[in-house]
Structures are given as C-alpha cells and as structure tokens.
Amino acid sequence: MVENPTPKLDVAKDLSREVVKGEPVRLAPGQLQLRPTRRGKPPAHLADLTLDERAEAVRDIGLPAFRAKQLSKHYFEHFTTDPDDMTDLPKGERSALVERFFPTLLTKVSQQSADQGMTQKFLWRLFDGSLVESVLMRYSNRITLCISSEAGCGMNCPFCATGQMGLTRNLSAAEILEQVRIANLLLSRGEIPGGEGRVTNIVFMGMGEPLANYRAVATTCQRLNAPAPEGFGMGARRITVSTVGLAPAVRKLIKEEIPVTLAVSLHAPDDELRNELVPINQRFDVDDILDAAWEYFEATGRRVSIEYALIRDINDQAERAELLAKRLIARGGAHWVHVNPIPLNPVKGSKWTASDPWVERTFVETLREHGISATIRDTRGSDIDGACGQLAATVVETDARREDREARVARVEEIARGIGA
C-alpha cells in the first residue's frame, strides 16, 4: 500500500483567545483550527509510560523496579491512586510515590444524572483550567464511557456544540486514561446507579477530533488494550475511535496496528453538502475517507461504523440514503460497514432539529434495501446536554457568532434543497 503524505491543512488565524477565560474562539464558516491556543503540558504521569519505562523511572529514584508493577496494578486493576489503599508498599514511601507518579490531572467540577441514573455526565477541570466532559452510559449488557481527547475542537462542524468552541489544547494520554480510571473506580465502589461493575466499552466520541491528537490517542488505545498491569485489558473491538475524516491518520492506524474499531462521522454522502457540515471534507473528501475506511476494514477485518446525524430537511432525504448506500457498496459490497443514523440532538442557538421518526425509518429502510446494515442509534443524556454533539463545557454566544451561524444555515439549506435537482 502506498502511504499518502499528510497534506498541510489551513490553520485558523484567530487563535489568541482561550475558551476557559470566557473569550469566544470565532471561526469563520468552514475554517479549521488545528493549532491549539494552549500548549502547556500536564505533569508527568505513570499512565503515559510503558511498563518498561515505569520500571526505569522507579529505578531512577533509587527504588527497586518491581515497585513499578505494584503501582501499575493499583492504577490499572484496582483503579486507585490513594496511598492509603497501597498497603503492599512501604508506608513511608507511599505518599512520595503517589505524588511522583499520580499527580492530579482531573478535578471534578460537576456530575449530572439522566435516564434514571443510567447516564452520568462529568465535567472535569484540567491542571491548566481547561474543561472537558465525559459521559458514562449504563445498558443492560454493557457499560459505555464516552471520552474526550481534546479540550474543545477545531473541526468547526456547525451542528455540534463542541465544534463551536474552537480548540484549546490536546489532552495527554494520561488525561484521557484518567477519565476511564475514575469511571471504573466509581463503578467498582457501587457509586453509580445499577450496582458494581466496570467499563466494558470505550468510545472516543466526546470532545475533540481524536485523530487530530493522534499520538496521545494511539497511546491511550494501546494502554486500554494492553493486559494488566500494563493497561486495562480491554478488547480492541470494544474500543471505538471516531473521526470526521482525517484519512491519512486512518492509514497511520493501519500501519501502526493500533487496536481499535473505526467509526467515521460522515453526515452526508455528497461533497457539496459535506463541505458545509464537516469542513475537513474540503481537504479529505467523501471518496478519500471512504477509501481509507475500506482499507482499514481490509487490513483489520473489523467492520467500520458510519455515523450519520439526521438533520431535518438537510441530509435526511431518501435520495441521500440511496447515494450513501451506492458509495459504500462501490468499495467492496455491503458487508464491511454498519450505518448508525443518529437523531440530531438539539444544540443551543441552532434552529436545526432531528428528523421526523417516519423520515428516520425511511432512511434506514432505504439503506437496508441495498443490503446495508443500519440501526438508529440510541440517544442518551440529551436533557443534560450529554448526548452526541452536545458536549461543550462552555461556549460564549455573541452577535457575530449568531450571524455567522445563521448565514451558514441558510447556505446549507439551499444546498439541501438541491438534492433532487
């Protein structure tokens, strides 16, 4: 396979203002922000290191290497960073080891509950004041954690609350893994409704574009997949990384054999509309990302998920379902993908809404008529702004932002009306 070089993307001009200080990052419609407004690094953490690197770090402070394995077991098996829980370590060394290897990376700001407690949304403050969110969803047969990989997002998709924030900074692998560890700790202690348990599925569908923070996300996936005490020991098929379409990064996942399931946030099968809904499409178009997704299936044998937010009268026409089916089948048949149409979750200030139920059913039936597996995705946590596309932490509305959005909506609606022309 010929490796495609990564094209140089446009970077937003106005990057001086920071979301957490209350200043809006105002991206023009279609503009991308790939350079964070902050570049500070969080404190070094054990989870950033491989097992061998942990042993070396322990030796560097004059302790035997086996202490690294003990610390790793506490973190990845018992989900604790409390020195009082580490009774296998010398009492006089516990606090110093915790301070050195487990610095505080996330501080809980709030926790909201929905769906009779089965959905929990967490707002976290990072070491530099940046804010991110994660969402825990409990089902009868699984516990899924939706995690964030960036503070904010620079992809600027107009129907997504996170996309309106701009990108503050990338998270480190340890900051991402801490979202998982804390969720597991709460579950193991029975502090989440439904009794004791542990996270069974991870989806990188929180704040940020995961593949724009490639190295940290790849390291996180390796830690999630690695058996304890190096990692959490989760199966690759239970770790889903979503992307809006960074095709070169998908090919990098293939080359590096990163253990994940791939989801592509497509949202439109034609370039004209997708250019507006998913601005990165102007760099990597529908053919680019579907080709990369097909290559991923061929290399891994793992079926790819196609995520498709259904927006009333915008992208929900049966003709677009027909076009989507044809473009997927053209790669190699219908067997390699599963399409997840998602009823659009309301975003504050947007007039776009979810499609009518009968329109959703028609969209799904059209796909199925072509042999494409499709299921309307369950929507959780919309009443606490915890559903897909709603995670925002904080966004400041301004007259200029509102005018930009209204002009963009008008342009998208004009394109949508032209589907049958």
172 and 232 share one domain = yes
Distance CA(400)–CA(393), nearest Å, equals 20
Taking residue 4's Cβ as centre, other Cβ atoms within 10 Å add up to 14
Task: Return the sign of the alpha-carbon dihedral for residues 95, 97, 99, 105.
Answer: negative
The active-site residue out of 153, 160, 221, 388 is 388
The answer to the question of residue 19 being in a domain is no
Amino acid 18: pLDDT = 37
331 and 200 share one domain = yes
The active-site residue out of 133, 178, 209, 276 is 133
Which of 101, 123, 147 terminates a domain? The answer is 101
360 and 399 share one domain = yes
Distance CA(354)–CA(345), nearest Å, equals 7
55 and 127 share one domain = no
| Total structural domains within the chain | 2
Give the structural domain span for 261: 104-420
The answer to the question of residue 6 being in a domain is no
Taking residue 216's Cβ as centre, other Cβ atoms within 10 Å add up to 20
76 and 187 share one domain = no
333 Ramachandran zone, left/alpha/beta (phi>0; psi -120 to 50): left
CATH number at residue 205: 3.20.20.70
74 and 181 share one domain = no
Which of 75, 101, 127 terminates a domain? The answer is 101
The answer to the question of residue 160 being in a domain is yes
Omega before residue 42 within 30° of 0, cis: no
207 and 77 share one domain = no
Q: Residue 339: helix, strand or coil by DSSP?
A: strand
Rounded to 5 degrees, φ, ψ at 152 are: 85, -165
Residues of the chain with pLDDT under 50: 1-24, 386-389, 394-401, 420-421
The answer to the question of residue 111 being in a domain is yes
* DSSP-assigned states of every residue in 29-67: TT----S-S--PPPPP-GGGS-HHHHHHHHHHTT--THH
Please tell me the pTM assigned to this model.
0.88
80 and 127 share one domain = no
146 catalytic? Reply is no
170 and 288 share one domain = yes
236 and 125 share one domain = yes
Amino acid 8: pLDDT = 41
The answer to the question of residue 110 being in a domain is yes
338 and 265 share one domain = yes
Taking the mean position of all CA atoms in its chain, how far away is CA 284?
19
110 and 61 share one domain = no
Tell me the C-alpha to C-alpha distance, in Å, between residue 354 and each of 12, 263, 309, 316: 30, 21, 8, 9
The answer to the question of residue 255 being in a domain is yes
133 catalytic? Reply is yes
Which of 101, 125, 141 terminates a domain? The answer is 101
The answer to the question of residue 241 being in a domain is yes
Amino acid 311: pLDDT = 94
CATH number at residue 80: 1.10.150
The answer to the question of residue 121 being in a domain is yes
